[in-house]
Structure 1
Amino acid sequence: MYSVLRLLPFAAATAAVLMLSPAVAAISTEAAEVQLQLARLLFTDGRYIEAFNAYEQIKGHDDSRIKREALTGGVKSALRLGDFSHAHADAQLLARSAPRNAEAIATYADALWAVGLFEDSEEKFQDALSVQADNARALHGLARSLAGRNRLTEALDTAQAALGKDPRDAEIHHTVGSIYERMRRYEEAANAYSSYINLLPNKDRSAKAAWARAEVRFLRAFGTRPPLHIDPAAAGRLHTIPFRVINEKIIVKARVNKGPQLDFVLDTGSEQTVISRETAARMGIRPIVNILSAGVGDLGVRELELTRLDELEIGGSLKVQNVPSIIKNPPLHGLPTREMESFSPLALGLSVVIDYDRNQLLIGDNLPSETADVELPLRMHRLAMVPGSVQGGQASFILDTGGQVISISTDTASGLERGEMRNIPLKVYGASGWDRDAFLMPGVNLNFTNKIEYRNLSVVVLNLRAPSVLLGFRLGGIVGYKFLSRYRVSIDLDKSVVQLQARTQRRAD
């Protein structure tokens, strides 16, 4: 690790060289090499803005190797900063300048993943491995992609292979931790997250690092308790749960720790079960750690409490023990409705069918075969994601049964060419309070495969910047009740697909 004091003279010397050379191409190879060394040191020290600027100075150099390394470093720095668009733009330059270099291809694939193009990203990781079968960055990216398709054993093996090639890469340890957590191997997950934290620069105060530190303490608090445990007698059973629709939200009856029945919202847009502060106090449920959460609203990132429920009972038949849960504390004030309890079968590791005609859910490990009019690939990256397109540009959408409308992010909206069309301000609130920048954008064309098309649709535009940075990739938008209620919806984790069977128009309306 290099201290600030050791970096300053080096930085000053390099800056002096660059000031004497106004054109990047005119910088001597020797001076560019010094600049590369400076940029690497800044990156290693966690000074990502300075590292990015240092790489930026020489990414147009005539020397192909210097250019490749500068672009690679610039992309990595931009990704750490959450500047996904800039990372993608530079990664395209990198891919064109070094089309047969495995590290360059894998870096490009990382940038594709960061802008939500998961399938394109996986294809490029495979291309990188065809050039160099043991490239650590490509193996890591493939592992992350396999985990998103619920192929957890393959994902873990691939991530461990990446660690064997580059055991000092913190991000690989983080991915290993997330896979172990999905596999309910909490102690091993905590060990992997600890390795991630230990490899971070001391200056790293990012939301992701803070989340990992809290997650280690939370996972270890389970001790020998098996997380998300379902009685073996009920394992493999398909549970039929009745629901009501109130204000375009699916409501089921549930119990926490054998307490009284409560209304829970089915919310696949949340990565954990959620209870209110009032319910936690009434049931004597204490928090284990505080953890960062991000959502729609002016707060962006919000600190909440994380706890463990002894038992969550859904609909009378589905009982899950040792359930990770968020307590909405401190609560938000000034909202038109209180923050309700919610759950997601996906967070419990279970698949679900939503039958709006019969007002019932089917929840289980394995779903029956469905007749589908449309099938969308499902990616689980902490949240359920499906691909779509906005004005012909690809984007990834959160599948959010707790949401109401079809929305796109401000990042997605900013890239659209719309001429003089007027945006209409809206009052919208979400998990992080009021989004005072929200507006209605008319005249938008959306596609989800060639079978689902919306023309000249008015969509809500939301600021999804905070959750995007915390997740590590750009969110394109959200599809909620207005979209989902037109179909019988099957979200199948085992097959990694979302199947949509159109309802009759009368019933859908």
Structure 2
Amino acid sequence: MHQSIKIIIALLISAPLFANEIIIDKAAPPMYFTKAEFVNASTTRVPFKVIDQLIVVEVGILDQEGNFIIDTGSESLILNSAHFKPSRRYRDDGKQKSGVHNDIEGVKEKHLNLLSIQDMNLEKLSADVIDLSHIEKTKKIKLLGIIGYSVLKDFEIFIDMHLNQLTLTKVDKNGDKLSDKVYAETIHDSIDFKLKRHTIILDAYIGDKKVKFGLDTGAEYNQLNKNLSSEILDYFYPSKELKLTGASGKKKKVLAGKLYRVKLNDSIYFGPMKTVLTNLRKMNTAFGTKLDGILGYEFFAQKRTIINYRKERLYFIKSPIIKH
């Protein structure tokens, strides 16, 4: 059976882009979650689907409705140029961004005067306009775009793979929630992270060896740098070769298997996780930091996780014990 992994627009790197401002009628909010449940004035719950190990939400935006991928690895809000044509001429349409695997060409920028999530507004939000039609074909969905860090950073985000639900709650400049009544569940553990531009960087261990991981909801499988020492790679058990499709649609073969003995500390540890062995040199060069790998869907499948960008902290909620 043909296998194809799509790891979506992970860890995009910003470049200065220029575009004429597009004025949006404030009477019709340009963006909203079509199936959101509003908890209070600063909190909303959004159901999501998991499509090929990607978190997909339904969004209405600029008179269209369709799917958006939630991607902490993307710096910005991205609109699919297959569905959003520039209404004015862009002064610069030849800029590039870089993904983990390939350069992405043909990036334009669109300005949304107001992003409205019910009463949660973000003024003057920019959106990169990129052709994502190859992702639509692979996933067999209407993909309007990708929601990244520029939208998510102003919220505390609870990613609950047990209930297939996002909880977004507005935070102040210190990262404190605007409402105390947000979660019915109890937080049982937490850990600090470092924010490198828009990338969440976690100190972790594989066996007893210290490593640095980037955390990315847009990574369908974990990625491990193939240039790591044999003492670390001994915990990676390969099983097959797969075709990996980069952000630009180009494919390359990678070794896939399972990674064992991963932990963040003595109380936060993971079972075996599906992982691909790849070269992260381009990403490390772009960010000026050395990452040993990327933790993606497999991380969130095992840990009900809350991300607070302002506090640079992850919180974990216990998963229920399922009796068979």
| TM-score, normalised by the number of residues in structure 1 | 0.47
- 1:113-132 correspondence runs (5 A): none
**Aligned partners of 2:189 and 2:124: how far apart in 1?**
36
Deviations 1:406-443 (A, max 9, x none): 22123336774639976632222232334524212456
Q: 1:419 to 1:376 in 2, by over 3 A?
A: closer
Q: 1:392 to 1:463 in 2, by over 3 A?
A: same
CA contact (8 A) 2:20 2:88 kept: no
Task: Select which of 389, 410, 426 maps to 2:242.
Answer: 426
Aligned residue for 1:309?
111
Aligned residue for 2:189?
374
Deviations 1:37-93 (A, max 9, x none): xxxxxxxxxxxxxxxxxxxxxxxxxxxxxxxxxxxxxxxxxxxxxxxxxxxxxxxxx
Deviations 1:198-236 (A, max 9, x none): xxxxxxxxxx8xx6xx51x53x9679x9xxxx9xxxxx8
1:349 aligns with 2:153: yes
**Aligned partners of 1:415 and 1:301: how far apart in 2?**
32
Aligned residue for 2:174?
none
CA contact (8 A) 2:221 2:274 kept: no
Q: 1:455 to 1:359 in 2, by over 3 A?
A: closer
CA contact (8 A) 1:374 1:499 kept: yes
Q: 1:344 to 1:416 in 2, by over 3 A?
A: same
Task: Select which of 60, 63, 70 maps to 1:255.
Answer: 60
- 1:141-160 correspondence runs (5 A): none
Aligned residue for 2:34?
none
CA contact (8 A) 1:438 1:463 kept: no
CA contact (8 A) 1:277 1:328 kept: yes
**Aligned partners of 2:265 and 2:235: how far apart in 1?**
26
CA contact (8 A) 1:439 1:462 kept: yes
- 1:160-199 correspondence runs (5 A): none
1:326 aligns with 2:128: yes
Q: 1:380 to 1:292 in 2, by over 3 A?
A: farther
Task: Select which of 202, 207, 223 maps to 1:386.
Answer: 202
CA contact (8 A) 2:99 2:283 kept: yes
Once the two structures are TM-superposed, the CA of residue 471 in structure 1 deviates from its matched residue by 1.5
Once the two structures are TM-superposed, the CA of residue 306 in structure 1 deviates from its matched residue by 3.2
Deviations 1:434-458 (A, max 9, x none): 4524212456432221223346655
Task: Select which of 472, 478, 485 maps to 2:294.
Answer: 478
**Aligned partners of 2:44 and 2:270: how far apart in 1?**
34
Structure with greater strand percent = 2
Q: 1:377 to 1:435 in 2, by over 3 A?
A: farther
In structure 2, runs of 5+ residues without a counterpart are 1-12, 25-30, 32-40, 172-176
Aligned residue for 1:177?
none
Deviations 1:456-499 (A, max 9, x none): 65521123222222122122222222220333321012321011
Q: For the pair shown, which has the larger CA radius of gyration, 1 or 2?
A: 1
1:245 aligns with 2:50: yes
Aligned residue for 2:7?
none
1:284 aligns with 2:87: yes
Q: 1:457 to 1:237 in 2, by over 3 A?
A: closer
Task: Select which of 401, 424, 428 maps to 2:217.
Answer: 401
**Aligned partners of 1:475 and 1:343: how far apart in 2?**
23
CA contact (8 A) 2:235 2:260 kept: no
- 1:226-245 correspondence runs (5 A): 237-245=42-50
In structure 1, give the amino acid aligned to 2:70: L
Task: Select which of 281, 302, 309 maps to 1:493.
Answer: 309
Q: 1:489 to 1:458 in 2, by over 3 A?
A: closer
Aligned residue for 2:268?
452
Q: 1:391 to 1:356 in 2, by over 3 A?
A: closer
Q: Which has the higher contact order (CA 8 A, sep 6+)?
A: 2
Deviations 1:379-407 (A, max 9, x none): 22122222222343322222222222222
Q: 1:458 to 1:248 in 2, by over 3 A?
A: closer
Once the two structures are TM-superposed, the CA of residue 274 in structure 1 deviates from its matched residue by 1.1
CA contact (8 A) 1:301 1:466 kept: no
**Aligned partners of 1:286 and 1:506: how far apart in 2?**
55
Once the two structures are TM-superposed, the CA of residue 273 in structure 1 deviates from its matched residue by 0.9
Once the two structures are TM-superposed, the CA of residue 352 in structure 1 deviates from its matched residue by 1.3
CA contact (8 A) 1:435 1:463 kept: no
CA contact (8 A) 2:46 2:165 kept: yes
In structure 1, runs of 5+ residues without a counterpart are 1-207, 231-235
In structure 1, give the amino acid aligned to 2:47: P
Q: CA RMSD in A?
A: 4.0
Structure with greater helix percent = 1
% identical aligned pairs = 19
**Aligned partners of 1:308 and 1:473: how far apart in 2?**
30
